[in-house]
Structure 1
């Protein structure tokens, strides 16, 4: 197990310092990050915490999973590595005929 933790179900008002304090009761927090929408800056309701050791991460997960924060139930588990993104994506062109409708350009 690694020391990086996924935290879901965060209140949209939660700050990184609040999360750091919450997890700090279970070990040394190396970093705490709330993920925000890149256009609005609003919290997306989840984040990541990195503890200084896998055993501290495990203790935090055991203690905090399914607890409440700001009226929301937290989902706390080991962070999974981000899947590699394929190049390009989105945009126009490529991608076949889009379900048989043909191109409309």
Structure 2
């Protein structure tokens, strides 16, 4: 019996979404079984690649027909036999960076259920870009030490917010060099809760709570930041034009927030 073949489709612009991959295959009359793509619910970004499951004959056709085709201004790369990695055997994180020094602290237990929002299996990430902020249920959490693995960040935040319904946890964000003090941890992340009432309670109860590394968390309502390139393109938010400036190519990859 024929087995499905999984193809790696890479070199994607970060703004590409599931519908763009579907369109690429449909426009070339190539049938597929499933598209496995991760979308960050806080930025709308994909990791610049996805996986597509097909019948063997359709996979051969995709390899010959799609290699180098343009998608949102970038030529896609297609490879055979590339599997999405597993987090099952990742070692537990025990190393934190605190106050510009490396220390060892016990972390929260990490397992395959650590993530509050599974970006690979969920198909509703787009609704998380702005809704939690608009509804005042997105929380800024500061005073965090540098935690190397994202699953450990999720586990620690879910432990901190254990009395609340955590919907999603963002990646840990590094402070700018010029704002890092000699003492204290300045990494931060964002946490989406289920309701505005939970967010209000969390700010009141958790702000100033001690961290595992001896500092204090800063827990506040998230403030509006500048929209990312992905958000501007996908949600139709335009950047105020400046006379004489060339428009930016929103189709290309990007690695920072304006």
Of 48, 51, 69, the residue aligned with 1:45 is 48
> What do you get for the CA RMSD once the two structures are aligned?
2.7
Cα 1:70/1:58, change in 2 over 3 Å: same
Q: Distance in 1 between matches of 2:45 and 2:22?
A: 19
Between Structure 1 and Structure 2, the one with more helix by share is 2
Select the structure with the greater relative contact order (CA < 8 A; seq sep ≥ 6).
Answer: 1
Give structure 1 regions of 4+ aligned residues with deviation exceeding 4 angstroms. 37-41, 82-85
Query: Is the partner of 1:29 in helix, strand or coil?
Result: coil
Cα 1:18/1:84, change in 2 over 3 Å: closer
Between Structure 1 and Structure 2, the one with more strand by share is 1
List alignment gaps of at least 5 residues for structure 1: 93-102
Cα 1:87/1:35, change in 2 over 3 Å: closer
Deviation at 1:6, TM superposition (A): 0.5
Is 1:26–1:60's contact at 8 Å kept on the other side of the alignment? Answer: no
2:34 maps to: 31
List alignment gaps of at least 5 residues for structure 2: 96-101, 105-258
Which protein is bigger by CA-based radius of gyration?
2
Query: Is the partner of 2:62 in helix, strand or coil?
Result: helix
Query: Is the partner of 2:19 in helix, strand or coil?
Result: helix
Show CA shifts across 1:3-56 (max 9, x none): 2110101121212122112113343221113223476552111111112x1110
